[in-house]
A = this chain, B = another copy of it.
Amino acid sequence: MTAKRQPKKKTRDKLLDVAEKMFAEHGFDAVSVRDITDGASVRLASVNYHFETKYKLFLAVVARRATVLNQDRKSALDKISFADLTPEDGVRAIAHAFIDPMYQRSTQGDEGWKSYCRLIAQQAALRHSPNITAEFFNPFALELIAQLKKILPGLEDRQAHYAFQYMIGATIYLFTENERLDSLSRGKYSAHDLDTLCDDLVKFVTGGVMGLISS
């Protein structure tokens, strides 16, 4: 066996790539299996052969990059030496650990990463059904909440959980990159300027968490 075989990766991965992009752009229900197979220039039956059902293809798309993103976040969180930081700077470091991996992958990873970030952002805002984000991302979330409580003893358990919800909301809304900011500012600013948006988002989240304990 000389490393991996090349040929057997083609169709399956093309399906994952195209599905990722289309689901992110239009949502699960608005995309048909035909849309995906046509976009990938493969036959209709290949989806059922490789993934059994359309929904399991969707799950495979979500799972594919979830591990990587979680590792990014986990290692960013583990790198923080809280002993050297003020509480506020600790919160800032936590905000970075949550936001930066998504930002880095979205802007500097391959094009699929941008779609993926859009996809999980949209998924997180859904009420149910294919809302599988929890299983993939809860473990890291719990660590983050625990660290928040540790460096901010004045923060109640309930507020630490709430803080994380506000953080999710503010963050994922950015990564949908919808056109609201563009239309509001008549093109002066753009939802695609993730660099400055994420910079200020860290400030916003940090100030927000600190604002929870001051009163």
Contact = CB atoms under 8 A, between A and B. Distances in A.
A125 interface: yes
Contacts of A167: 170
Interface string A146-180: 00000000000111011111111111111011111
Contact of A30 (B129, B163, B181): B129
B208 A205 contact: yes
A129 B26 contact: yes
Contact of A207 (B29, B142, B184, B208): B208
Nearest to A181: B165
Copies of this chain, tallied across the complex? 2
A165 B183 CA distance: 12
Given A145-B184, A176-B125, A179-B128, A211 B215 contact: no
A38 to B, nearest CB: 18
Given A173-B165, A173-B169, A178-B125, A207 B214 contact: yes
A106 interface: no
A131 interface: yes
Contact of A209 (B131, B138, B185, B207): B207
Contacts of A191: 165
A73 interface: no
Given A142-B184, A162-B201, A204-B208, 16 more contacts: A30-B129, A122-B126, A122-B127, A127-B176, A131-B179, A158-B189, A161-B189, A165-B180, A165-B181, A166-B204, A169-B170, A169-B174, A170-B170, A200-B212, A203-B215, A207-B210
29 contacts: A24-B127, A27-B27, A27-B29, A125-B173, A127-B176, A128-B179, A134-B179, A138-B184, A158-B188, A158-B189, A158-B196, A159-B200, A161-B181, A163-B204, A164-B184, A165-B174, A169-B169, A169-B171, A169-B172, A169-B174, A170-B170, A203-B212, A205-B211, A207-B207, A207-B209, A207-B210, A207-B212, A208-B208, A211-B211
